[in-house]
Structure 1
């Protein structure tokens, strides 16, 4: 369908805007409002034009009844700002404090599960894999399973492909780039096949308990810089869901501006040399 010139595109009425915001909140927990009008209108108008809907009302009826279109709109609103070795101090905490604590009750060969949720386009779970290979001397003694999950299906597909540009790779040393990537076209680098195979990616929604249950439970969860987009109610729901995905004694790492102590009292705050993290108590089933 031919795209209309910008001046001919209709803006959303106040009621239309509220419908979109309510829909996104119910589906994702992300909070939008009038202050984000331009951001919302650009994305909704693009979907209206792409689908050929005659009006916003027609499009919104399709959105509510069509899971594929619902997925496309949600993809358009997710934030995928990330890069390799982001908040590296938490990776150091993983190797120096969290894993040494966890393996006190494990034997060599036992499984250790690490979850990155949301994982965006894959930089975080791949960073975890690279950091462990480079810095944790016991990495080969245990069965490390790394899972990356996100609500954005396009981001997940990009993560599976594992192709990254200079900005995403800017914090990696030339030695790491050479060891774990191979040059691809147009100034992109691709994660080596064996490393791509070591990370599993899956679709999951932090506020949807049913979508999280198939993920199983984890020893360590990285859930960074997403709760800032939620309101108090959605944060608490996500916190409860993350608690349920943690094994007793497991650890949760949040973003630097997020604090579980302001969201839920179910976790124990742990202050380690490299980072503050949150633990599911061992003695509570």
Structure 2
């Protein structure tokens, strides 16, 4: 079999196409990573070369090949209690402000995107159970979404290595996880507490169903977007939030550099971004 090569023009064409579909840009520094995964799919589909594969990809009516490629190209590395100061902010400041101003008994709704393999949404559940007294009085709905269908399936299984749980206190590991030969599985009650969905954040048709959230966690995703896609994501979050709702970004991300729609809120635990209580 002739060795498949990806030339500079192929890389450019694919990069532009993948960006249009996902909002994710690949820098030249990612060239080896992208080429390797493209070649893997070219061989798996028995395409003769990149151009034949690219033609098939673009005209794949059911989108299955694009989804397989997305699953290969997206990076999903995280762990429990990552950047835990924001979970502290959630239970000590954000939720108390939300419940103080809620004028009905509708559930508090939290959207975690991307879900990765589930560490983030399950960390939120554990924090609520362990540190927020309001969990006894309020119903909470947690939706966690990702563009990668394989990683969503992994999140639903809730099976983790020692590395994923390394920052968890031992008593929480005993309380919420079941030991397995090759790691730990999160308990059924916590798995049932999170609804996992597949969504493309920059597809207006897909995100329009995501509404009436009180808090959005979107940490360390926007760093993979360009300015246009970041602004589109900010607009999506604005539409998805209730007035007065909050967005939590990663420590290296700043909504102030992306959009003027949100207020900067400085709580003792950290900085988050709030949709004004009255539309602007």
TM (norm. structure 1) is 0.94
Q: 2:170 aligns with which of 169, 174, 183?
A: 174
| Partners of 2:216 and 2:248 within 8 A in 1 | yes
Looking at structure 1, the residues matched to 107 and 55 of structure 2 have their Cα atoms a distance apart, in angstroms, of 46
Q: 2:9 aligns with which of 15, 30, 53?
A: 15
Q: 1:148 aligns with which of 140, 144, 150?
A: 144
Shift of 1:138: 1.5
- Residue 23 of structure 2 corresponds to which residue in structure 1? 29
- Residue 134 of structure 2 corresponds to which residue in structure 1? 138
Shift of 1:119: 1.2
Shift of 1:122: 0.5
- Residue 60 of structure 1 corresponds to which residue in structure 2? 54
Shift of 1:172: 0.3
- Residue 51 of structure 1 corresponds to which residue in structure 2? 45
Aligned pair 1:40/2:34, yes or no? yes
Please say which of residues 220-229 and 48-57 is displaced more in the overlay: 48-57
| Partners of 1:108 and 1:141 within 8 A in 2 | no
Shift of 1:240: 0.7
Matches within 5 A, 1:1-285: 8-66=2-60, 67-106=63-102, 110-186=106-182, 188-284=183-279
Q: Any gaps of 5 or more consecutive residues in structure 2?
A: none
Say what the alpha-carbon RMSD is for the aligned residues: 1.3
Looking at structure 2, the residues matched to 250 and 109 of structure 1 have their Cα atoms a distance apart, in angstroms, of 16
SS of residue paired to 1:138: helix
Looking at structure 2, the residues matched to 25 and 113 of structure 1 have their Cα atoms a distance apart, in angstroms, of 30
Q: Any gaps of 5 or more consecutive residues in structure 1?
A: none
Looking at structure 2, the residues matched to 33 and 110 of structure 1 have their Cα atoms a distance apart, in angstroms, of 44
Looking at structure 2, the residues matched to 274 and 212 of structure 1 have their Cα atoms a distance apart, in angstroms, of 30
Closer/same/farther in 2, CA of residues 256 and 86 from structure 1, 3 Å limit: same
Please say which of residues 115-124 and 29-38 is displaced more in the overlay: 29-38
Aligned residues: 278
Shift of 1:107: 6.5
Looking at structure 2, the residues matched to 109 and 18 of structure 1 have their Cα atoms a distance apart, in angstroms, of 51
Shift of 1:110: 3.3
| Partners of 1:18 and 1:33 within 8 A in 2 | no
| Partners of 2:15 and 2:25 within 8 A in 1 | yes
| Partners of 1:118 and 1:223 within 8 A in 2 | yes
